[in-house]
Each structure stands twice: as C-alpha cells, then as structure tokens.
Amino acid sequence: MKSLNDITFSRRAFVGAAALGTAALAAGGLEAAAPEDAFAEEAGGETYVYTSCPMCNQSVFCGLKGTVKDGKLVRVEGNDQHSKPKPCLKGLTSLQNVYDPNRLLYPVKRTNPKKGIGEDPKWERIGWDEALETIASEFNKAKETYGAASVTFHSGDPKEHLPVFCRVAALFGTPNVSWGGAQCAFALAMASILNYGNTIMTMPAAQTKVHLQWGSNIAWSMYPQPTAYKGMLDAKRAGCKYIVIDTRLTPTAVQLADLYLQPRPGTDGALALAMANVIIEEDLYNHDFVENWTEGFSEYAEYVKEFTPEKAEEITWVPADKIREAARMWAEAGAGTMWVSPHSTTHHTNGVQSTRAITLLPALMGYWDYEGCRTVAPGVTGTDDSAFQLADKIAELAPGRAGVDRWPVWSAMSTYYQNNGLLEYINDGLIHAGLFLGTNLMNFAQTPLLQEAVSTLDFAVACDIHLNPWTHDYMDMVLPAAVCWERVAPFQAQPNGIIGSQAAMEPAGEAKEDWQFLLDLGCALGFEEECFHGDLHACMQAYLDAGGSGATVEDIQAALPGVYELPMSGEWQPRQYEQTGFGTVSGKVEFKSGMLEQLGFEGLPVYEEPSVSPVSTPELFEQYPLILTTGNRVPWYVHSKYRHTPWLNQFMPEPLIRMSHEDAEARGLADGDRARMFNQLGEIQAKVEVTNMLHPGNVEILHGWEQANSCLLIDRTFDPISGFPTFKDALCEIEKI
C-alpha cells in the first residue's frame, strides 16, 4: 500500500466521507449483510418444488415443477403427476413473474388525505403491524357505525384465497363478499344449472360423435387446460365431428370445424332457437327423453316456431341452410358434447337466456349422462370446504347482501354478492369500507365512475402483486401479495384427490401469501381463536379436517409431486337421473325454468336483441356502425395481467384494434396504423390489426390495457338475470389518427 504522502486524493472527498461516517456509525453498522457468519458450504445442487399455477386464475391450475438452485428459482416446467401436467407459456413465465422488478413488495399507506382522480396518494411504506391495526380499526369503526355489511370483502380475479377470505368475512359478519365469477364463469353455470340443475360443459370423449363448440376459442384460452385442446384434436382424428359457432373465425374454428357458423355478436340465442326449430320441425328430437325428463317442452316448441332458419338468418347473419345443416349434424349424431365459453355469450343483456337456449340443445337430444355425452361422474370425497368457509354463517348473512333485489336470480344461485353494482352500492351508502383483493377497477364499465366512488369510501385497502394506479390510487392502503412460488397454502382438488403446494423461497420484500395475510387480518379483527392465532399450518390442517378426508398437511406434502389420493364417492353408472332426477324446481330438465318464473322472469329461453345493437338502437348504429366486442382472450395474457412480463409481452406489446379488411379499407386504415375508437361514451386509441378473424361490421379490442381501457366504451347495462356486464354489447366508430 502506498503511503498517504504519495496520494493526491480529493480532500473534499476525505472530509465529506469522514463526516458522513460518524452518522453511519451511530446508525448501527451493517443491516443487509452478515459477514463472517459461519455458513455451510453449498452443495451447489438443484432441488425441486411443486405448486399449482395461478397465472390464469380460473383457480389454481396446471401442475408446476420448479427447480431451485442457490436460493433462486431457475427453471419451471410441468409436474407430470398432476392432472393438468402441461402448463402453457403463462405457467412457464411464472418464473419471470416472481422476479418482476415492478412488484409491490411492502405495505404502503397514502399520506395525501385527498382521494380522487388526479390526486397523488403520496405512498409511504409501513410495517405489517401498523397496516393490520389500521385496517382492523377502520373496519370495526365502519361496523359500529353502519353495520358489518358496510364493509365489502371484494375479490377480483384470484380464487385460491377464497376459503379463508369467505371465512374471515363471515366471522366479521359481512355478506358483501365478491369473486371474479361475477364477470366470468358463473353466468354460464347459472344458465346450465337453471336448465339441468348441473353444468353441461364437457370435452368430447372417445364415443362422442359430434361436439358443439360455442364462442370458445380453446386454442388460445387453453381453458379448461392446455392439454384439453390436444384432446379435441385427437377426438377429431378419431372421427368426432365439430360444429364451431363463434362470432370470430378463431384458430379453434379453423382447425376443428367441420361446420363453422359466424353469428352477429349477441344473437347466439336466436341461432340456438333456430337450431331447435329445425330439430323439432324435422322431428329429429329424442321423444323419449323429452317426454319423460323435461319440463315445458310444448311451450318451448311453440315458441321456437317463430325462429325459422330464414328468420334467424335475418337476425344472426348466418345463412339458413347452414343453420339447418348444423341442427341436423347435432341431432343425427347419437352422442354429443358441448363446450360454451364462460364469458362470450354471457356478456350481453340477453346473456343467460341466450346461453340457456344454447345449453338446452343437448336436452332436445337427451345427450346426458351416457357414453360420449356429458357424464355425471361421482366426485372425490373429503374435499368439501364449506364447513371451513363457515357456510352456515354465510347462508344466514346472505339475505343482507347488497343487490339482492336488483339481481334476484344471481342472489338466489350464488352466495356471493353481485359486485357489478359496486358503484351504486357505494353511492347509495351501503358500502363504506372495503378490502379489495386482486381487484381491478378497469374491470368495471365506465371505470372513472368507480374510481370516484371508491375514493369516497371511509377506508379502502387493496392487496395485490403490483401497485396499479388506475385502481390503487383511490385506496388508502395497499398490501403486497406473494406469488405462487412463494406460498404453501392453497390446496388444489384433483380428480382423484388433493394436491399441495411448496414454496421455492420466502416471499420477496415483505410480501405475504394471501392465506397468511387473511389469517393475520382475522386475528387483528378480533377472531384469534377462529383464525388459528395466525398459524398458517394450523389453518391448513383445519381446512383439511373440515373436508373430512383425514389427511394431514404433512400427508399431502409427502405425496408431492403426486396427488394425495382420496376415495371416490361411487362409480359412474349411466343415466343416474332415472333414479335421482335433475336438481331443478321440477326435478326435470327445464325448457321452461321454474326458478326464473318464481323470480319474475320469463321461464322460456326467450330471445331479445341486446340493449345496444344495429337492430335495437338504429340511430346509434348510424353514428357508430361497428359492433364492438371486448373481453376476449389471447394466449399470452389473462385479463390485465402480464402485460409487461418479457416472455409474454413480446407477442403483443401494445393494444390492438382488430378489424376486418373490409372495415379497414372503408376507413383508409392499414395494418399498424394508429386509430381512435370511440362512441357516445368515450374514446381510446390503439394500433389497428387487420385480420380475417373478424366479420365485417364487428371489431374488437382486448380488455385491461391501462393505456386503452375498453371499459370506457361500455355502458353500465347488465343482464338482469346474472347481473353480468355487457362487455360485448357496444357500437363504435374507428378513425385514423
């Protein structure tokens, strides 16, 4: 080392550094590093962990295997022992989701008390203790002042927290609990449950002769799982015929369809009724099944008479002969299955009734519970979590939900409240505070109205993976959620049992897994005993105990990467309905729904034009001559998620307006041009993609873009039966910028 005399270093640097140093010493030395601790030499090997993919979040989903090396997740692949063994690109990208540098990693609270559009929250980092104390104090204050129902437990897209979420909400005493099924999935379930007392959607089996694929582009959505589409292609090779009905000429239609029908958006109900018209007029229906196992057939048959293929052609754009061909292909096959998208035919004001009309087509043929059709197989035992969720308490609280009068059918069929009315619930003084877990305000039509309403809440706390200004700027506090590789709690039901999850690492920063946070919240709210004193393991065990399987958390962990197998409740026998009937009011399949009639709705699956359409609003159509459909799927994103994750972002880095060659040419637009898309409600701007997918007169944009929020162009009109938003009932015009 040189001596100091040889050195002409900056005197200023020396003086400054020395002076600064005194403070550093007083501040306490090292905080992040641990020097000279004895630590074991690393083996340098790889270890494996197993979890279920939450990237799509229909629920926890495909099985994932993670490789961990030197404290880091280095590789993600499928778990071949899982019932959904092959994740898609989104699942593989969970690796990049963990290490996204933009994740929120600490609880933050706003320091600017003024809330509203354009206000900077001025976030400040806080500790979990302060966060939990504040939430508990604010929620209890609202409870004392307005009652427990004034606090909403508002869940967005995630599902895997729901058992604990519902439990803590029930303990607190609020019935105003929501889930993402209120915009997706559940309206489809409602339609088939109203008809059959059960769901109808099934993938084709080996004995299936015809499969009707309606509004569902599985090649892209990969729902119900990535390998399902391969199964469909295999079934096609084995001879199954496919009728694909979709407003868009999707990859699924191109690859699978023996017959493809492209209806005008929102007219699916008329098309289904016209198919029924042909099947009945040509006497192709299954007399035995219809006479013995259905209710309301004669009125239904009378009603569908008006939907001749020719009349339906006028309504739906589908040529009459194609409707006849589809009806015959469906009716003459002898064994048929059906898959309907959870969110395409339901996003119209006529959603449930149209979807009922569609899902009644199997009833005409008696395609129910025998080989090659929808089979009602006994499920696995020991996974019922209703006791854990405190279902009795939830049922007791349910009449106090907001929106029960507005959407009585939803409210009768679901234990959740219909959160599409959140705007009115807040503005009418029903909701004063809320926990918004995974909630996105861009999910609501006319988003700014929601942003303003949420700003007026006495207290709002969100829990999320990212801090999203369009939602979280209107909150008082935001909490960091752990991602799948950082959590152990969610179990996943499997066809033959239950499978557990392992964490690859501790959560980054101070993120917490949902179950842990909810337990901590429950304790802070005063329910220590019922929330297991915050002990996650005890909570997981209680969850298993409630199902009655007798399994321990350790049993399930030990079974990984495999499934912890549980007994089935019985063996499948065909046509069980001959013994049990159907779970409807009449005990039969209902062409005329007893429940709908009881609740003041038309019992038949009547067709009405969507509230906004070229037919129902001709004056609007003159100004805005393009039908706008939103809320579709692409293979690389789910809702607003992963828009900036490199492996996914590369495929669609920015919003695209998809339109036909004809519509583009008529407006002087070419592929890649920037355009404004607008209507009487709002305007967004994006690049144009000219495509064969869209029928002339129909355009679409993917939802969930912060820079081009499609919900600005959607009205606050809802399906009166499901309460679903009308993401596909809109008109617009497009102009080059």
Partner 1 sequence: MDEMLCSVLEGRTTAYGLLARLLNREVDEELLAELRALPFAADEAVRPNGPNGVNDANDPGRRDNAADLPIAAYSADLDEGNRLMGGYLAGIGNESGDAQRALTDLAVDFARLFVVRKRSESVAPYPNESVHTSKEHLRMDGARDEVRALFRAEGVRAADAWRLGEDHVALELEFMQTLAARTAEAASANDEETADDLLSKQASFLDRHLLNWVPAFAEAMGRTARTDFYRGVALLLVAHLREDRALVKQLLG
Q: Closest separation between CB of residue 713 and partner 1, Å?
A: 21
Nearer Cβ to partner 1, position 9 or 405? 9
Nearer Cβ to partner 1, position 46 or 622? 46
- How far, in Å, are 73, 224, 279 from residue 95 at the CA level? 7, 22, 51
Is residue 644 a contact point for partner 1 (CB under 8 A)?
yes
Question: Edge to edge, what strands does the sheet with 177-178 contain?
Answer: 123-125, 108-110, 477-480, 459-464, 433-437, 151-155, 177-178
Q: Closest separation between CB of residue 68 and partner 1, Å?
A: 11
Nearer Cβ to partner 1, position 30 or 43? 30
> Around 468, how many Cα atoms within 13 Å sit in the side-chain half-sphere?
25
Q: First-to-last CA distance in the chain?
A: 67
Q: Name residues contacting partner 1, limited to 491-530 (CB under 8 A).
A: 506-510
Using CB under 8 A, which of the segments 67-75, 427-435, 524-532, 546-554 binds partner 1? 67-75
Type of residue found at 676 = R
Question: Edge to edge, what strands does the sheet with 72-78 contain?
Answer: 46-52, 63-69, 72-78
Asked if residues 719 and 345 have their Cβ atoms less than 8 Å apart, the reply is no
Q: Closest separation between CB of residue 6 and partner 1, Å?
A: 7
Is residue 646 a contact point for partner 1 (CB under 8 A)?
yes
C-alpha to C-alpha distance for 164 and 625, rounded to whole angstroms: 47
Q: Closest separation between CB of residue 512 and partner 1, Å?
A: 11
Among 8, 43, 405, 600, binds partner 1 (CB under 8 A): 8
Burial of 241 (0-12, 13-18, 19+ CB in 10 A): buried
Among 45, 101, 239, 600, binds partner 1 (CB under 8 A): 101
Among 53, 104, 453, 699, binds partner 1 (CB under 8 A): 104
C-alpha to C-alpha distance for 209 and 296, rounded to whole angstroms: 28
Q: Closest separation between CB of residue 111 and partner 1, Å?
A: 6
C-alpha to C-alpha distance for 268 and 247, rounded to whole angstroms: 9
Site string for partner 1, 704-733 (x = CB under 8 A): --xx--------------------------
Is residue 11 a contact point for partner 1 (CB under 8 A)?
yes
Nearer Cβ to partner 1, position 105 or 542? 105
Using CB under 8 A, which of the segments 93-101, 359-367, 382-390, 578-586 binds partner 1? 93-101
Is residue 489 a contact point for partner 1 (CB under 8 A)?
no
Alpha helices for 259-308 (secondary structure H): 268-281, 287-293, 297-304
Residues 6+ apart with CB under 8 A from 21: none
Q: Give the tokens for residue 340.
A: 């309907």
Among 62, 212, 275, 467, binds partner 1 (CB under 8 A): 467
Q: Name residues contacting partner 1, limited to 180-199 (CB under 8 A).
A: none
Among 200, 324, 387, 468, binds partner 1 (CB under 8 A): 468
- What phi, psi does 497 have (nearest 5°)? 160, -140
Site string for partner 1, 23-52 (x = CB under 8 A): xxxxxxxxxxxxxxx-x--x----------
Residues 6+ apart with CB under 8 A from 316: 263, 264, 267, 270, 271, 274, 323
Site size toward partner 1 (CB under 8 A) is 71
Nearer Cβ to partner 1, position 71 or 239? 71
Angle between helices 309-316 and 320-331 (to 10 degrees): 120
Using CB under 8 A, which of the segments 94-102, 245-253, 399-407, 423-431 binds partner 1? 94-102
**Short-list 95, 18, 7, CA closest to 55:** 95
Burial of 716 (0-12, 13-18, 19+ CB in 10 A): middle
Using CB under 8 A, which of the segments 6-14, 158-166, 378-386, 516-524 binds partner 1? 6-14
Q: Closest separation between CB of residue 7 and partner 1, Å?
A: 4
Is residue 469 a contact point for partner 1 (CB under 8 A)?
yes
Nearer Cβ to partner 1, position 67 or 611? 67
Type of residue found at 622 = E
Report strand pairing: 108-110 vs 477-480: antiparallel
Using CB under 8 A, which of the segments 255-263, 337-345, 396-404, 465-473 binds partner 1? 465-473
Residues 6+ apart with CB under 8 A from 186: 410, 413, 414, 722
Nearer Cβ to partner 1, position 95 or 431? 95
Among 77, 100, 281, 535, binds partner 1 (CB under 8 A): 100
- Would you list the DSSP string of 343-382? TSTTSSTTHHHHHHHHHTHHHHHT-BSSTTSB-----BSS
Is residue 652 a contact point for partner 1 (CB under 8 A)?
no
Q: Closest separation between CB of residue 715 and partner 1, Å?
A: 28
Nearer Cβ to partner 1, position 344 or 709? 709
| Region of residue 71 (left: phi > 0; alpha: psi -120 to 50; beta: else) | left
Is residue 237 a contact point for partner 1 (CB under 8 A)?
no
Is residue 96 a contact point for partner 1 (CB under 8 A)?
yes
Q: Name residues contacting partner 1, limited to 109-168 (CB under 8 A).
A: 111, 122-125
